[in-house]
Amino acid sequence: MAAESKYWADGLFSGLRLLVTGGCGGIGRSLVTHCQSLGMKVVVADLPASLERYGDIGSHTLPIDAKNPDSVQRAVVQSADLLGGLDGCVNLVGYMSPAQPLVQTDVAVWDDVMRGNLDSAFYISRSVLPFLKSTLGSSLVHVASGLGAWARPLYGAYGPAKAGLLLMVKELALENAPVVRVNAVAPGAVDTAFLRGGTGRSDETTAPRVDPQSYGQVVPLGRIAEPLDIVHPIIFLLSPASGYITGQTLHINGGTYMP
């Protein structure tokens, strides 16, 4: 039987050992700040360019190329060594394909987006789950997208990649229960650099893919999401409060999509 986690015993987050991959983006920075304020010990793994810009967000940072399985394995092992083990992992790695019809998507673009969104999630899951399985009640949370369940035009390879991730979450949940819970959050549009080319992949100054103000006007809750709207549900999925939840996708979109 796996060892009981300290945060389960205390009923608090204090001492929870968390790896956040892709943690330098807008959602990631907010997540890391809040997790550390709750007493978690956090390692942030991201692209070198992202760490150079935002690497002061966590007490531990590591470079990672999530499209490279050796790089992922190295970062996960180093994270476990730094923290003395792992109780949780949040994967925020991902980026969009260019806005164009799927049949016009170049094969190289398709391959790259699949590697950066679906393959990377597989590499991270494969590397981190052996460490998580040493702690009863541990949690893996993948950040997917509502576009993985709600098809919209001109999102090319991105939607299919996230759809694959949502199914992979269910398979991982079945295969790793009851020790590890595996869930996903699927945000709609969030007002971060992701809409402007992405952290570590752009200068974050291009026009957003959707206009935050006009987008908010068609959302039932009346606004576009902010990072905390996604952070709080992720923290819930890391916590004992979600201890009977696995294999689920929590859609966070202000009511624009209701599966």
pLDDT in tens, 16-29: 999 999 999 999 99
Higher pLDDT, 58 or 101: 101
- Residue 153 and residue 102: Cα distance in Å, rounded? 8
- Residue 88 and residue 212: Cα distance in Å, rounded? 32
The pLDDT-based confidence of 54 (bands split at 50, 70, 90) is: confident
Coil, helix or strand at residue 225: strand
The pLDDT-based confidence of 56 (bands split at 50, 70, 90) is: confident
How many residues belong to the chain? 259
Asked if residue 35 has pLDDT above 50, the reply is: yes
Q: How is domain 3-252 classified at the CATH fold level?
A: Rossmann fold (3.40.50)
The pLDDT-based confidence of 10 (bands split at 50, 70, 90) is: low
Amino acid 81: pLDDT: 98
Amino acid 12: pLDDT: 67
Taking residues 246-259, report their average pLDDT. 95
Per the prediction, the chain carries an average pLDDT of 90
Taking residues 22-51, report their average pLDDT. 94
Taking residues 178-191, report their average pLDDT. 95
Asked if residue 138 has pLDDT above 60, the reply is: yes
pLDDT tens per residue across span 197-240: 555 554 556 666 677 788 888 999 999 999 999 999 999 999 99
- Residue 54 and residue 67: Cα distance in Å, rounded? 21
Amino acid 1: pLDDT: 38
Amino acid 102: pLDDT: 92
Give the pTM: 0.90
Asked if residue 154 has pLDDT above 90, the reply is: no
pLDDT tens per residue across span 158-180: 999 999 999 999 999 999 999 99
Give the torsion sign (CA, 47, 49, 50, 56). Answer: positive
Helix (H) or strand (E) holding 252: strand 249-252
Taking residues 48-62, report their average pLDDT. 87
Asked if residue 32 has pLDDT above 50, the reply is: yes
- Residue 123 and residue 133: Cα distance in Å, rounded? 16
Taking residues 50-56, report their average pLDDT. 87
Higher pLDDT, 11 or 213: 213
